[in-house]
Structure 1
Amino acid sequence: MTSLPATALTVATVQADPVPGEVAENAVTAARLARRAADSGARLAVLPELFLSAYHPPALAADPAGTDVAADPDALVVDPRLDPVRAAARDTGTVLVLGAAVRHPDQRRTISALVVDRAGTVRVGYDKQQLWSEERELFTPGRRGATLLVDDWRFGLGICYDGCFPEHGRAAADDGAHGYLCPSGYVVGSAHRRDVYYAARALDNTMYVVFANSVDGTAPWRFNGGAAVYDPEGRCLVRGADTGEDVLVATLDPEQLARTRADHPMLADRLADQGPRRALVTG
């Protein structure tokens, strides 16, 4: 297994209500929230799924050109609408993970996690692999997973529905992840699943999970917040309310990660092959 981090890392998870279709306005909001996270000591901040456009399928369908950001062949994004976000990352030294609709050079359109590094460079970090329902009408699934390095911490990247699949989180753990970052968009009425899936991914893989979510909005695209950070046993360290903008901060502790993995060595004990199954027939 990959070695454990040497130092703690303070992270922020965000719940907020972006304006459908208004990328420039939402970038200003993202920058404000990133600065708020940094003021609370965060070195990494995670914002919700599709935050730059808002998770609003009618707006995404009506104006693809206006709601997408374009990536170049090296996965760089140079859209000037993101200048406030670049400045926030540079000024604060905080890495940002930010949801966006991305248009690739081959014209694929993906739900993606942008990574804004401490120099203010914006890259496409990961394209959502597991598309939910009508997302399939607007987007193409991602082709591969991704692991983000922040200081000496390794984070698997997932987006919303990805986190509903145990194998997605396990693939991150298999790549040595100490944590799993999940920008998401859970609507009102899904709080039970919201609160189970990401805690389970943490416990399954003895890793931290940072879950960000949109909040409020207008039905049927009304979201339920609950942004949270889970420890490697799936216990909630911080959680937002079901309504209202918030920035929640927690510190990821390498000693706790080490203790949990020593006490609950599922990753080490996992069988490489579960063997053939046999059918049992009752009379």
Structure 2
Amino acid sequence: MTLRAPTSRPVAAFRTRPSTRFGRSILRVEANVTWQLVPDKKFALSNPDAAKKLQPIDLTTEIGEKEVATVGTEKVDEMLRSVDAGIRVAFECKDESGSPLAGEASSLSLKNLGSEVAVKVDGKDLEKDSQVSVGPGSKIAFGDEAVFQVERNAFAHASTGAASQRVQPPPAKKVKIALCQLKSSIDKAENIKTATCAVKEAAAAGAQLVVLPEMWNCPYSNDSFPGYAEDVDAGASPSADALAAAAAASGVTLVGGSIPERSAGRLFNTCLVYSAEGRLLAKHRKVHLFDIDIPGGITFRESNTLSPGGAGTVVDTDAGRLGIGICYDIRFPELAMLYANRGAQLLVYPGAFNMTTGPAHWELLQRARAVDNQLFVATCSPARNPDASYQAWGHSTVVSPWAEVLATLDEKPGIVYADLDYAELETRRLNMPVADQKRGDLYLLVDKSQAAA
């Protein structure tokens, strides 16, 4: 068994000084620290079998030189402060195959095996060969300058073996997104033409990711769904063919809103996601059907014609790792949490909220899902059609991980753009590490589709 610290960020940096080489700034470490992690008594008592397998391991922290593209003393000083403030320490227990070790621990022990610099834990000196318990919230100082807080002691949950932490998202990138708010009519061919023209326009404006609305190729009604439904798997889908061609012609990742899909005698509300080469990357069938009855507002039962999908959808694209939901799916925070745990960077919800639910909850739910999971959220609505029986709210919107509205439309047809920087996810999660502060001893979200796999 091994106990390790994540390699994605330094475990510790300490007593650094700036130097300059070739016009670029260097942060040079002046000392190493050797320390040891050993099982804590609380862990041993609650998990005797696992504790017997867990052996102490010696860790020598060596940062070396870190190069940053800055010059000037003031900028380097700012960088030093940023580095010192932003690094956290995380201890994770894995077995030799990399799988989480079953069990949970409130703390582990840190032992000083002979450091070149002074080591303090929660303000108290940790002398050579002495040992102290550390856990989430403990502050560890190496030398005079750097103080770091223990982020977590992450173990698998004993009852399920599910990891108690998120999958790391892909490397951060910057992406320009376009939401195409389209007004649908009863003419499917005209709707397809409108959609493909919108994709072309968005790509010409520099968008790398284009999103269409829910049920863009037909009126939103139970009477319409059966007649407009297409069999995507059988290749009998003019809407799917048009989406694939539009994505390839424009060179964009395309989240194709949703269309009514016919499959094996059932109907689904289905979102198709295409690569910039026009290849089908994912198919998401709406998981939660829109069955509501609001007196004086609206009554609708999608289940009268549609069947629910059986799985969530997270897909890797050139525009990042996307979690896909459709309209009513956004009301269920558990689905968004599963997507965040799978490393999604952006949640995309084509959705057709109405004149009752839209003013009350549309923006609220987007901002809630964004701040709950500290990622971007994009919603794309149909434009409002005054001649339609179902009046869409519109207001397609992009929200940041800080729950800021970055871009939005009104109810009319249009395209709205936003620039996303996925590096903001890590920044917000460092500022406020809520995912790492969850109480696995009190509650647990289980991803059944992942467990089954």
TM-score computed with the length of structure 1 as normaliser? 0.87
Mean Cα displacement is larger for which, 255-264 or 158-167?
255-264
Question: What corresponds to 2:125 in structure 1?
Answer: none
* Preserved contact between residue 16 and residue 214 of structure 1 (Cα < 8 Å): yes
Confirm whether residue 101 of structure 1 aligns to residue 260 of structure 2.
Answer: yes
Q: CA deviation at 1:254?
A: 2.2
Confirm whether residue 58 of structure 1 aligns to residue 219 of structure 2.
Answer: no
- Of residues 396, 412, 416, the one that matches 1:227 is 396
Distance in 2 separating the partners of 1:77 and 1:225: 31
Mean Cα displacement is larger for which, 227-236 or 10-19?
10-19
- Of residues 411, 417, 420, the one that matches 1:249 is 417
> Which consecutive unaligned segments of at least 5 residues does structure 1 have?
276-283
Q: CA deviation at 1:59?
A: 1.9
- Of residues 376, 379, 404, the one that matches 1:208 is 376
Confirm whether residue 179 of structure 1 aligns to residue 337 of structure 2.
Answer: no
Deviations 1:9-68 (A, max 9, x none): 111112121113x332211111111111112211111111111223233322xxx2x401
* Secondary structure of the structure 2 residue equivalent to 1:13: strand
> Which consecutive unaligned segments of at least 5 residues does structure 2 have?
1-166, 292-300, 444-453
Q: CA deviation at 1:4?
A: 4.3
Distance in 2 separating the partners of 1:178 and 1:238: 18
* Preserved contact between residue 131 and residue 161 of structure 1 (Cα < 8 Å): yes
* Preserved contact between residue 178 and residue 417 of structure 2 (Cα < 8 Å): yes
Question: What corresponds to 1:88 in structure 2?
Answer: 246
Residue type of the partner of 1:24? A
* Secondary structure of the structure 1 residue equivalent to 2:383: strand
* Secondary structure of the structure 2 residue equivalent to 1:215: coil
Residue type of the partner of 2:185? V
* Preserved contact between residue 179 and residue 396 of structure 2 (Cα < 8 Å): yes
Distance in 2 separating the partners of 1:80 and 1:130: 26
Distance in 2 separating the partners of 1:263 and 1:12: 28
Q: CA deviation at 1:78?
A: 5.0
Mean Cα displacement is larger for which, 138-147 or 76-85?
76-85
Distance in 2 separating the partners of 1:77 and 1:232: 38
* Preserved contact between residue 6 and residue 152 of structure 1 (Cα < 8 Å): no
- Of residues 220, 225, 232, the one that matches 1:71 is 232
Deviations 1:121-159 (A, max 9, x none): 346510001001110111110000010212262111100
Q: CA deviation at 1:116?
A: 2.5
Question: What corresponds to 1:17 in structure 2?
Answer: 183
* Secondary structure of the structure 2 residue equivalent to 1:69: coil
* Preserved contact between residue 27 and residue 82 of structure 1 (Cα < 8 Å): no
Mean Cα displacement is larger for which, 120-129 or 177-186?
120-129
Distance in 2 separating the partners of 1:94 and 1:42: 7
Deviations 1:83-108 (A, max 9, x none): 4433321111112112111112x222
Mean Cα displacement is larger for which, 199-208 or 23-32?
23-32
Question: What corresponds to 1:161 in structure 2?
Answer: 328
Give 1 or 2: higher helix fraction.
1
Question: What corresponds to 1:6 in structure 2?
Answer: 172
Question: What corresponds to 1:278 in structure 2?
Answer: none
After superposition, the Cα gap between the structure-2 partners of 1:15 and 1:113, relative to the gap in structure 1 and judged at 3 Å, is same
Confirm whether residue 269 of structure 1 aligns to residue 269 of structure 2.
Answer: no
Q: CA deviation at 1:109?
A: 1.1
After superposition, the Cα gap between the structure-2 partners of 1:165 and 1:254, relative to the gap in structure 1 and judged at 3 Å, is same
Residue type of the partner of 1:50? M
Describe how 1:129-148 pairs up with structure 2 within 5 A.
129-133=287-291, 134-148=301-315
After superposition, the Cα gap between the structure-2 partners of 1:80 and 1:15, relative to the gap in structure 1 and judged at 3 Å, is closer
Runs ≥4 residues deviating over 6 A: none
Distance in 2 separating the partners of 1:81 and 1:183: 16
Deviations 1:176-202 (A, max 9, x none): 111100000011232220110011000
After superposition, the Cα gap between the structure-2 partners of 1:212 and 1:273, relative to the gap in structure 1 and judged at 3 Å, is farther
Question: What corresponds to 2:196 in structure 1?
Answer: 31
Q: CA RMSD in A?
A: 2.0
Distance in 1 separating the partners of 2:281 and 2:265: 17
Q: Higher RCO, 1 or 2 (CA under 8 Å, sep at least 6)? A: 1
Mean Cα displacement is larger for which, 94-103 or 229-238?
94-103
Number of aligned residue pairs: 266
Q: CA deviation at 1:77?
A: 4.6
TM-score computed with the length of structure 2 as normaliser? 0.56
